[in-house]
Amino acid sequence: MKCKALNKQLNDSTFFIIFAVVMELPVAFIEQIKALLPNEHEAFFKAMDEPSPVSVRLNNKVAITPTYPQVPHCQTGYYLPNRPVFTLDPWFHAGVYYVQEAGSMYLEQVVRKYLFGSEIIIDSPNHQITKSPKRSEFRALDLCAAPGGKSTHLASLLGDDSLLISNEVMPQRAHILAENATKWGYGNMAVTNNRPADFGKLAGYFDLILTDVPCSGEGMFRKDEKAIEDWSPAYVLECAERQRSILTDVWPALKQDGLLIYSTCTFNKAENEDNIAWIAQELGADILESRHFYFHTDQSEGLFMAALRKTAPAGSTRIKDVKSKGSISQNKNILIDPEHWCLKEDKDLIYALPKAFEADFTLLDKQLRWVKKGMGIATIKGKNSQPHIDLALSRHLNPSATTSAEIDRITALHYLKGESISLPDAPTGYLLLTHRGVPLGWCKNIGNRCNNLYPDAWRIRMNIPDTLCTLPF
């Protein structure tokens, strides 16, 4: 998919014919971009021949002061000079950072401005100050959330006082979403596997709905040849229609004056400007802002993001102030703060829910299919219990209440691969394994070896090389 400088001695029409052949871009797409960017299309197509930028967003699990260039619209986003083998970095698996396109991080600006009503002050290229939001408690839905980039970002922005439901309609992708949610470590981030219409029954429940809707994927053309193969003008219209259907189904769940964030990874008007105009007119909303990210103007893949304020009346879902069944004695709560969490038991699982939203979960139990609810604490094994991976990776873990063992990078990678490791100098019993001070997961040390308790589905599949690449942090 390279076209380096083919246009240097060619006229415009010849260039685009050759460009279409070499890049294997549909001619209809080329004509679409020329109409959309009449004065910038050559720069756009040249940028498609450039390497994709590599950007990451940091969690707050460990204090890091990067020297990399900052993503201008995200306080915790940074550009890396190259793409390391992230699989060989234990901190990647521990949720210290998330690899994400920089354009998607613009979510931060939209949330701070239109949900929090806070002002963002940038006093230097690498430093931002944000005034405190007017409110701190929100109920939010990320409707099409897998694999979890925007959801984990939203969890960080909302903090501990809000409730975030992250949904994915495809079951396999929902489990990937749950994995990334667990690694990010926020216990008030739940994962569901529902259709948009299921949420529509929760009239006026959400303050914020984020819809990163399935689209024709034009913004991924630079790095995904399959997206190019699948594209056609008819497919664009099909996607636009499906997006309107999704919004129609979920719209009743957004309260009046609530915030809708609509995004796609595509460029065309049908899926972007035309659709948000349709939402405003047909569903009832004010368009607050819309923003395109292009290959040639932004260090990102392609993205469109818009913010809308719902003006249409909405019903109201009553949240009864009752406690759900399954509560267990708080004296078992030794690893988390009992003031903010309540423990529950469901079959062989002990888990924790944020007390502020205990009644919400009673309501949502009747409407939603949970993939991950609350924070797992322990799995019951007969008369004993085994600590849960949720707890190991949670930012709510009380480290002083457990026994940990620090391991080096090679040992960490073999542990993350699911292999048996040996810790002869460590205490026997359940151990929280850490690397460079960051928890990775549990093992049970029985003396001559450790039983590896890292989840099977998460394990590294590649071979661990003898010589390891440089780490990004």
pLDDT digits (tens, 9 = 90+) for 13-41: 444 444 443 458 999 999 999 999 999 99
Of residues 8 and 402, the one with the higher pLDDT is: 402
Whether residue 469 is predicted with pLDDT greater than 90 in this model: the reply is no
The first and second tokens of residue 394, run together, are 């949670």
Whether residue 112 is predicted with pLDDT greater than 80 in this model: the reply is yes
Residue with tokens 């720069």: 43
pLDDT of residue 134: 63
DSSP 213: -
Q: With pLDDT > 70 as the criterion, what percentage of the chain qualifies?
A: 89
pLDDT of residue 6: 34
316 to each of 205, 243, 254, 360, 464, how far by Cα in Å? 7, 25, 10, 14, 54
pLDDT of residue 21: 39
pLDDT of residue 384: 87
CB 354 within 8 A of CB 338: no
pLDDT of residue 78: 98
Averaged pLDDT, 248-277 = 98
194-215 pLDDT, tens digit each: 999 999 999 999 999 999 999 9
Strands (DSSP E) contained in 39-161 are 54-58, 77-80, 97-99, 120-124, 127-130, 139-142
pLDDT of residue 444: 96
348 to each of 351, 372, 381, 387, 451, how far by Cα in Å? 10, 15, 7, 12, 20
| Beta-strand pair 139-142/163-167 | parallel
pLDDT of residue 325: 55
Residue with tokens 């070499």: 22
**In CATH, what number does 135-310 get?**
3.40.50.150
Q: How many CB atoms lie within 10 A of CB 196?
A: 22
Mean pLDDT of the chain: 90
Strands (DSSP E) contained in 282-387 are 285-293, 303-310, 341-346, 349-354, 370-372, 375-381, 384-387
Of residues 24 and 160, the one with the higher pLDDT is: 160
Whether residue 58 is predicted with pLDDT greater than 50 in this model: the reply is yes
Q: pLDDT band for position 129 (50/70/90)?
A: low
| Least confidently predicted of 12-26, 245-259, 266-280 | 12-26
Q: pLDDT band for position 399 (50/70/90)?
A: confident
CB 124 within 8 A of CB 152: no
CB 421 within 8 A of CB 411: yes
Could you say which of 265, 342, 443, 450 is catalytic? 265
Whether residue 2 is predicted with pLDDT greater than 50 in this model: the reply is no
Whether residue 118 is predicted with pLDDT greater than 90 in this model: the reply is no
Instruction: Give the side-chain half-sphere CA count within 13 A for 183.
Output: 24
**Count of residues in the chain:** 473
Q: pLDDT band for position 383 (50/70/90)?
A: confident
Whether residue 180 is predicted with pLDDT greater than 50 in this model: the reply is yes
CB 262 within 8 A of CB 183: no
342-356 pLDDT, tens digit each: 999 988 999 999 999
Of residues 23 and 360, the one with the higher pLDDT is: 360
Averaged pLDDT, 307-326 = 82
Of residues 177 and 16, the one with the higher pLDDT is: 177
Averaged pLDDT, 172-191 = 97
The first and second tokens of residue 454, run together, are 């890292």
Averaged pLDDT, 397-421 = 93
Is position 74 annotated as part of the catalytic site? Answer: no
Domain boundaries, given as residue ranges, for the chain = 12-47, 135-310, 318-400
pLDDT of residue 19: 43
pLDDT of residue 10: 36
pLDDT of residue 20: 42
Residue spans of alpha helices (H) in 342-427: 358-364, 389-393, 409-416
pLDDT of residue 318: 85
Taking the model in full, what pTM does it have?
0.91
Secondary structure (3-state) at 232: coil
| Least confidently predicted of 226-230, 325-329, 361-365 | 325-329
pLDDT of residue 339: 82
Of residues 80 and 135, the one with the higher pLDDT is: 80
